[in-house]
Amino acid sequence: MKKRVLSGIQPTGSVHIGNYLGALKNWVKIQYDYDSIYCIVDLHAITAFQNPGELRAKILELAGILLAIGIDPEHSALVVQSSVPEHAELAWMLTCVTPVGWLERMTQYKAKSEAQESVGDGLLQYPVLMAADILLYQAHVVPVGDDQTQHLELARDIAQRFNSLYGDTFTMPETRLPAVGARIMGLDDPEKKMSKSTAGSGHAIALLDPPDAIRKKLMRATTDSNPAVDFDTMGAGVRNLLTIYQGFTEASTEEVRAKFSGMRYGDLKKQVAEAVVAALEPVQQRYREITADQGYLADVLTQGAERVSIPAKDTVEKAKRAMGLFTRA
C-alpha cells in the first residue's frame, strides 16, 4: 500500500507565490508517489472572522486554483475540512491530551494574537486542529512551508503523548520542506514571511494576479543599497528575488549565480517578473477553464469528502476505543 501524504491550506485571502513555492508545488510533484489527501481548511480559516459569503466563494476559488496548478482529482482527494466532521471530533480528543503551555509557546500564535485586542480560543487551538487533520488520516508525510515546522513538531508531540497514554494509535508524521522556497519573504518587507493575511498591495504576488500587476509589484520590491547583485553582501530582499526565480524556473544554484552575478537590480527584477509571469499564465488559463463549470468543482469536493470518509471514521473509532469512549455496536 502507498504511504499517505496530507496537507492543507486556508481559504482566506489570495493564494500567493509563497504558498505555491513553499507547499503547493510539492503537493503536485509528489501526489502520485502517495495516497494523497489535500484539504481546504475552512475550520482553520474561522479562527479569524470571515465574511460568510466571501468564505464560501474563497473555498471554491481555492479548489479551482488547486486543480489549475495540477492537483489531479482522479488521484488525489481534494477535501473541504468542514465536510468531514471527524476533523473536529478528533481535535477535541487531542485537545484533552495537550498542555496549554505547549500551545502558548507557538510562534504563530504569539505573532497572530499580539495583533489582536481579544484573542479567540480558536487561535490557541489552531495547532491541535492541525494535528487532528494530519493524524486523522495516519499521514506519513506532510509537505508544508517552513513556517509550519513548529506546528508539525507539536503534532508529533501530541501523537506521542496520546500513544503513550492510550496505546499505539497514530502514525508519526514527517515534515517535508521544499529544497528551494520554504520561506518566501514579503516583497515590501523581506524580514517578514509573505502571508495571505498581511495587508498591502506590494506585499505578495497572488497566483491569479494579472501579468502587469506581477511586473509592477516585482519592480517595486524592496532590495538594498547595493546597485547590483553581489552574492557575498546581498540582503534578504535580493536573496528572496533570486529564490523566487529559482523556484519558478528550477534553475540550479550555479546557474542562478552565473546568470545574475553583477546584474543591476532593475534588470534582475525584470527577469524575475518574466519567469513568474511565464509560469503563472498557463495556471491562470486553466483556472478560467475549470471555474467556468462551478458544478464540476462542487462534484470534485463532494467526491473528495466521500473518498476520505472511511479512513477518517476508522481513526476516530480507533481513538475512541483507545480512550474508552462509547462506540456503537
Q: Hey, which residues are catalytic here?
A: 112, 193, 196
Q: Does 58 bind ligand ATP (CB under 6 A)?
A: no
Q: How far is the CB of 302 from ligand ATP (least distance, A)?
A: 22
Q: How far is the CB of 196 from ligand ATP (least distance, A)?
A: 4
Q: Does 273 bind ligand ATP (CB under 6 A)?
A: no
**Grid cell 518566501 in the structure block, residue:** 184
Q: Does 62 bind ligand ATP (CB under 6 A)?
A: no
Q: How far is the CB of 255 from ligand ATP (least distance, A)?
A: 22
Q: What are phi and psi of 167, to 5 degrees?
A: 95, 160
CB 11 within 8 A of CB 197: no
Grid coordinates representing 9?
491550506
* Residue whose C-beta lies closest to ligand ATP: 22
Residue 291 corresponds to which amino acid? Answer: T
Q: How far is the CB of 22 from ligand ATP (least distance, A)?
A: 2
CB 297 within 8 A of CB 290: yes
Q: How many residues bind ligand ATP (CB under 6 A)?
A: 20
Distance CA 127, CA 18 (A): 20
User: Of the candidates 5, 19, 126, 247, which one interacts with ligand ATP according to CB under 6 A?
Assistant: 19
Judged on CB neighbours under 10 Å (0-12, 13-18, 19+), 225 is: exposed
Q: How far is the CB of 262 from ligand ATP (least distance, A)?
A: 28
Q: Does 269 bind ligand ATP (CB under 6 A)?
A: no
Report 197-236 residues binding ligand ATP (CB under 6 A).
197
Pick 76 or 148: Cβ nearer ligand ATP? 148
Q: How far is the CB of 167 from ligand ATP (least distance, A)?
A: 31
**Contacts (Cβ under 8 Å, ≥6 apart) of 310:** none
**Contacts (Cβ under 8 Å, ≥6 apart) of 209:** 14, 217, 280
User: Of the candidates 31, 36, 195, 223, which one interacts with ligand ATP according to CB under 6 A?
Assistant: 195
User: Of the candidates 35, 86, 147, 209, which one interacts with ligand ATP according to CB under 6 A?
Assistant: 147
CB 11 within 8 A of CB 40: yes
**Grid cell 485537545 in the structure block, residue:** 95
Q: Does 9 bind ligand ATP (CB under 6 A)?
A: yes
Closest CA to 96 of 285, 286, 323: 323
Report 165-184 residues binding ligand ATP (CB under 6 A).
182-184
User: Of the candidates 144, 234, 268, 290, which one interacts with ligand ATP according to CB under 6 A?
Assistant: 144
DSSP structure string for 195-264: -TT---TTT--BTT--HHHHHHHHHT----S-SB--TTT--HHHHHHHHHHHHHH---HHHHHHHHTT-B
**Contacts (Cβ under 8 Å, ≥6 apart) of 125:** 47, 91, 95, 103
Pick 35 or 42: Cβ nearer ligand ATP? 42
Candidates 195-203, 237-245, 277-285, 319-327; binding stretch for ligand ATP (CB under 6 A): 195-203
Pick 93 or 132: Cβ nearer ligand ATP? 132
- Which residues contribute to the site for ligand ATP (CB under 6 A)? 9-10, 12-13, 18-19, 22-23, 144-145, 147-148, 182-184, 193-197
